[in-house]
Amino acid sequence: MSNPPSPALLATLMDRLGPRGFTTEPADLAPWLTDWRRLYRGRAAAMLSPAGVEEVSDIVRLCAREGVALVPQGGNSSMAGGATPDATGEALLLSMRRMNRLRSISADANVAVAEAGLILAHLHDAAAEVGRRFPLTLGARGSATIGGLVSTNAGGTQVLRFGTMRGLVEGIEAVLPDGSVFNGLASLKKDNRGYDIRQLLIGAEGTLGIVTAASLKLVPAIGSRSVAWVGLESPRKALALLRLLDNAVGDAVESFELVPREALDLVLRHVAGTRAPLEGGHDWHVLIEAVAPMVAPDPEKELGRALRAALKIGVAEDAVVAASEAQAEAFWRIRDSISEAEKKDGPAAKHDLSVEVAAMPDFMVEAASAVEARFPGTRPFAFGHLGDGNVHFNVRAPLDADEAWLGGEAPAVTAFVHDLITAAGGSISAEHGIGQMRLAELARLGDPTRLAAMRAIKNALDPKNIMNPGKLVPPLDAAQESLA
């Protein structure tokens, strides 16, 4: 149990951080106390905005002394309520947005060292300026920050070739729960000095420390890219197409995003200026991006040839390769607008599922039928990162339902979907994290051995439970505690 901050602590923090780094003004705090999806609303005693790692270290040390909780926050784009404080108002919100420097960037070393508050799109721009690229992107790139991306092991629409943040973070600087600074920024290709603290902090959602900076891997800049929109009959055919492309185009294929008819319809209905890329209706579509570095062969030719082969053998129903950058961007806009369109359309129970890649096509079709049968009137649809075995399996409320559905039938739908993916050997959180949204479900369905190890690590590093409490690590409930 954490404590509320004493007036003396608040005064010390105000003094240490100055007016730009400390506020209790309700108007300053308000935008940051609600998550992006507006599912959680919290309170905080103050918002702290440190300007450097020394200030973060002092904040953590002072809070540890009094047992005051800290909730770190970057761009506030968590999909799981991971950066929203609880309703007690006792925690301090730790905004990392002022620490937004790019400390260094080197095309020779292929590494950028970015502070936690740097916005992803700004890193993309900086990498382009030195002829390189940071190969991870997602719809929220204009607001998501490096610290949040590291702390949630973010994925997104370009994981296929270069992996999630775990594969792209080469070093980390972080403040641990006692205020000490872990200086692990060196980008070492090989390092066998024991436990990988860096990997422990990636995906820890701020529960083991505050990530203040990261060394990030850069890859060659894109010389040319080719973006195609393909209509297909089924997710099975989509996966068959991906495997065909593996052979024909190799790892130039960096995105392979599945879009069902329902998701396209939602975007066309709710997002101005969008139009269907193909004439004629298809139940399923994929958006494909193939890229080549500066001097490599033209991906358009390769992708075009492979898609013609796919059409010939019936793997694809129709396909169009973007004829210009503007058209490529228009295809991507459809894909990146799905969440926004869905939000405008009405309530939905959202799920972020993964299973072995080869098993996903059948899983998603069978799970959709099972949900429809069990909850008549609901409208499941799944979209996203089929090539990663990860789809967002969302279940829209029946047409006559209103927002109350989210607190009514939706939790039972979620439990049903999570039971199905768990039985299939998959994960209830592929890329969005646990936050507070999936905490109870992780407690219910998580492997006890894994949960016990997580709790042991958490207790060892953060015995006072001041780092983002109530997120990611399910507490032992009373019944389990009496058995323990």
Q: Does 338 bind ligand MLT (CB under 6 A)?
A: yes
SS3 365: helix
Pairing of strands 318-321, 210-217: unpaired
Of the pair 134, 383, the CB lying nearest ligand MLT is at 383
382 touches which of ligand MLT, Zn ion, none (CB within 5 to 8 A by kind)?
none
Terminal CA-to-CA distance of the chain, rounded, Å? 19
Of the pair 132, 351, the CB lying nearest ligand MLT is at 351
| Host H or E run for residue 384 | strand 379-385
Contacts (CB under 6 A) with ligand MLT, residues 366-395:
384, 392
Q: Which residue has the tokens 């996903």?
A: 360
| Min dist. Cβ of residue 274 to ligand MLT (A) | 15
Q: How far apart are CA 46 and CA 59, in angstroms?
A: 12
| Min dist. Cβ of residue 371 to ligand MLT (A) | 17
Q: How far apart are CA 253 and CA 236, in angstroms?
A: 18
Write the binding mask 113 to 142 for ligand MLT: x where contact by CB under 6 A, - elsewhere: --------------------------x---
Write the binding mask 392 to 431 for ligand MLT: x where contact by CB under 6 A, - elsewhere: x---------------------------------------
Name the one range near Zn ion by CB under 5 A: 180-188, 301-309, 317-325, 384-392.
384-392
According to CB under 6 A, which one of 339, 354, 414, 465 is a site residue for ligand MLT?
339
**Bridge partners of residue 256, in order along the sequence:** 288
Q: How far apart are CA 458 and CA 317, in angstroms?
A: 51
Question: Six-digit token pair at 20?
Answer: 């730009």
Residue 457 CB partners (closer than 8 Å, separation 6+): 200, 208
Q: How far apart are CA 184 and CA 417, in angstroms?
A: 39
339 touches which of Zn ion, ligand MLT, none (CB within 5 to 8 A by kind)?
ligand MLT
Q: Does 4 bind ligand MLT (CB under 6 A)?
A: no
Q: Does 438 bind ligand MLT (CB under 6 A)?
A: no
338 touches which of ligand MLT, Zn ion, none (CB within 5 to 8 A by kind)?
ligand MLT
Q: Which of 151, 148, 147, 145 is nearest to 202 (CA)?
A: 151
Name the one range near Zn ion by CB under 5 A: 160-168, 171-179, 210-218, 383-391.
383-391
Taking the CA atoms of the chain, what radius of gyration do you get in angstroms? Answer: 23
Count of residues that bind Zn ion according to CB under 5 A:
1
Q: How far apart are CA 60 and CA 68, in angstroms?
A: 9
Name the one range near Zn ion by CB under 5 A: 9-17, 220-228, 379-387, 468-476.
379-387
| Min dist. Cβ of residue 413 to ligand MLT (A) | 16
Residue 70 CB partners (closer than 8 Å, separation 6+): 59, 60, 63, 91, 92, 94, 206, 210, 466, 467, 468
| Min dist. Cβ of residue 352 to ligand MLT (A) | 6
Return residues touching Zn ion (CB under 5 A). 384
Contacts with ligand MLT by CB under 6 A lie at 139, 338-339, 384, 392
